[in-house]
Structure 1
Amino acid sequence: MSEPTVGILHPGSMGAAVAACAATNAAAVLWCENGRSTASVERAARFGLTPVATLAELLDRSDIVISLCPPAAAEDLARDVAGHRFAGVYVEANAINPERTQRITALLPDTTIVDGGVVGSPPVGGKMPTLYLSGPADATARIEALFADTAVQTTVLGTEVGKASALKLSYASFQKTSRVLVALAVGMAREYGVDQELIEVASRRTDSYLSEPQYVAKTAVRAWRWGPELEEAADTLAAAGLPSEMLRATASTLARWHDAKDDSELTLTDALDRLAQP
């Protein structure tokens, strides 16, 4: 099969770097400069992307289009593409929920949709993110070939559109929220002059709770006392002028496990099932 022409919508820091990797196995990588900022123009030039004047030209020339933009813009961008009846492969690689991915699929009936989710940092300076894919097997195979032997690793999750988006957001929900929790914890400790001691305590544990899902059941059986503890911590944050909503929301989540108090037989499946019930 001949090398495809690829279009990137729109080349931000992640999009431009991913597009540059695609250029390894593509005839050309296009981007639409119409209405874009000076920073976008400079970034696209730095990564060797080929500018075109209009979206219509990009779509007419491209076999594969990769959408990597701010999540809020994903559907509007897909609507713009829908107006041109693009008949190639559209990689919806934004950090959006599976339902939104399905809506975008419905917007593009003439297009082959591949659901994508990038986990990791932009592929520069030795970084090697993974692009997770789900969708029609022949289309995901084309995307795998596009990134073969590049810094973008690919993993196919199956043929169901939405799986890649679900994995991306499942991971992001932990990674992003955990960093905000770090800010709150250190901010609270700093208010009382014990921030360095907090860091020392935390440094004794380096594993991620995300890799230990069996701990969920242990959390559930302790929720009856952890919830009030977090309410106390939320009050402490509020007194320090720091936002308390995240800890109050966590306490509210723990309340769903209140009737699991000290249930030593509770399993992970049981705990997750209870969490899904109001």
Structure 2
Amino acid sequence: MTYRPTVGILHPGSMGAAVAACARPNAEHVLWCPEGRGQATVERAEEAGLEPVSSLGDLLAKADVVLSLCPPAAAEDVAQAVADHRFAGVYVEANAINPERARRIAELVGTTARAVIDGAIIGSPPVGSKRTRLYLSGAESAVALVEGLFSGSAVSTPVLGTEIGQASALKLAYSSYQKASRVLAAVAFGAARAHGVDDALLDVAGKRQGSYLVETGYIAKTAARAWRWGPEMDEAADMLSAVGLPDEVLRAVSQTLARWDDSKGLAELTPDEALDRLTRP
């Protein structure tokens, strides 16, 4: 008989719920804890077919594998709560954090856990026809268990190696460029708009293949995601500083994103409205 582990997800945002749903065909149960969560999270979990449990302790007692997907700033607090319950299964730290923090979490949870895996999600939430990648690094047997969970699903699981921190480094190396470029495009377009040359900028950028400057609709999307992207840029800056690379650019990107902190979840925001918010100190 094929082994079907029970999975727990902490805490199912749009990405976490979609990834957890992809594990359902290969898992015995996919659990989550509604305690302290908002109505939007409850609805996401129900739509994804996740099974509610009464408490975090109940989830950790039942789960063989736990996936941690939360805002970067909360990653260690979540890990501490898991460690306090002496979780004994496989813990997948899949947050956008720097390698040093990933190693600290591995040491913290690893005192009782069977294994801690460093994970990095790159891509959109795997819903509809979209696919995503969950990069893994850690002990081979534990990594193989997670690979099996997502076999045949919209989540592919490339393995980077056995070292904790490799997946986290890949995530931040990629996102530091991809997300900082989006912010720079918004700032450049805002400067052009302020001087009445935004149409001319679009014309110039349109002649260059793949320029973010022509994707003005993404300015509003960047504003709505700034609350999450800003801390991620701080994590990326910490990673650069730790290896002797300049971190000032990403610190500045984080400070720019902070101007959009009050735009969280504003899906109907227009590019002009987003730029107006960006000009406020």
TM-score (norm: length of structure 2): 0.73
1:61 Cα deviation after fit: 0.6
Q: 1:62 to 1:117 in 2, by over 3 A?
A: same
Deviation string for 1:3-37 (max 9, x for gaps)?
11000000010000000001121111000111111
- In 2, Cα distance between the equivalents of 1:100 and 1:248? 18
Alignment match, 2:205:
202
Supply the distance in 2 between the matched residues of 1:248 and 1:49 (Cα, whole angstroms): 37
1:179-190 equivalences in 2 (<5 Å): 179-190=182-193
Name the counterpart of 1:18.
19
Which residue is 1:153 aligned to? 156
- Structure 1 unmatched runs, 5+: 210-244, 251-278
One-letter amino acid of the structure 2 residue matched with residue 141 of structure 1: A
1:116 aligns with 2:119: yes
Letter of the structure 1 residue corresponding to residue 192 of structure 2: A
User: Per-residue CA shift, 1:170-207, capped at 9, x if unaligned?
Assistant: 11101111001011111111112211221221122225
Aligned runs of 1:79-118 on 2, under 5 Å? 79-108=80-109, 109-111=111-113, 112-118=115-121
The equivalent of 2:273 in structure 1 is none
Question: Secondary structure of the residue that 2:154 maps to in structure 1?
Answer: coil
- Look up the SS of the partner of 1:90 in the other structure: strand
Matches within 5 A, 1:1-278: 1-108=2-109, 109-111=111-113, 112-207=115-210
Q: What amino acid sits opposite 1:158 in the alignment? A: G
Q: Aligned-pair distance for 1:248? A: 11
Q: TM-score, normalised by structure 1?
A: 0.74
Root-mean-square deviation (CA, aligned residues, Å) is 2.0
The aligned length equals 215
Q: For 1:29 and 1:79, how far apart are their aligned partners in 2? A: 22
Task: Tell me how far apart the structure 2 counterparts of residues 97 and 196 of structure 1 sit (CA, whole Å).
Answer: 39
1:110 and 1:247 map into 2 onto residues whose CA distance is: 36
Residue-by-residue CA offset, 1:67-124 (whole Å, 9 max, x unaligned) = 0011111100000000111111000000011111111011111211000000011001
Distance, in Å, in 1 between the alignment partners of 2:147 and 2:95 is 17
* SS of alignment partner, residue 7 of structure 1: strand
Q: Post-superposition shift, 1:39?
A: 1.2
Q: 1:87 to 1:133 in 2, by over 3 A?
A: same
Letter in 1 for 2:125: P
- Displacement of 1:246 in angstroms is 5.8
Distance 1:152 1:32 in 2: 23
Deviations 1:120-151 (A, max 9, x none): 11001211111110000111111111111111
Verify the 8 A CA contact 2:180 2:250 in the aligned structure 1.
no
Where in structure 2 are there 5+ consecutive unaligned residues?
213-247, 254-281
Label 1:205 to 1:47 Cα distance change in 2 as closer, same or farther (>3 A).
same
